[in-house]
Amino acid sequence: MASESTQGDAHDKAWAKAEKRFTHKHASEYYDPCQDFADRSLQCMKRNASDREMCHDYFQAYRDCKKNWLTQKKVSLTPLSK
């Protein structure tokens, strides 16, 4: 029983540290716009008994989305030179 309350206290302390950062985050900081592609690729793997060849198009769509998103993110974070 004592270890359960210790774990609960540790969890509460960890949340107290992270809460400010989490509640004051930017709107899309924890949002992955490519999650739909990731979900579809996993569903394809389940449907096709983990045959990667059958799901190649889903994986490629996810890679393309992720690449575009990271490129846009990098461009938006680059300071404008005057």
Q: Considering only residues 62 and 18, tell me which one the structure prediction assigns the higher pLDDT.
A: 62
Say if residue 70's pLDDT is above 50: yes
Say if residue 49's pLDDT is above 80: yes
In this structure, are residues 38 and 61 in contact, taking their beta carbons and an 8 Å threshold? Answer: no
Query: What is the secondary structure of the chain as a DSSP string?
Result: -HHHHHHHHHHHHHHHHHHHHHHT--TTTT--TTHHHHHHHHHHHHHTTT-GGGGHHHHHHHHHHHHHHHHHHHHHHSPPP-
Q: Considering only residues 5 and 43, tell me which one the structure prediction assigns the higher pLDDT.
A: 43
The answer to whether the pTM exceeds 0.75 is no
Mean pLDDT of the chain: 80
Q: Considering only residues 49 and 79, tell me which one the structure prediction assigns the higher pLDDT.
A: 49
Determine the average pLDDT of the residues in 10-38: 72
In this structure, are residues 64 and 72 in contact, taking their beta carbons and an 8 Å threshold? Answer: no
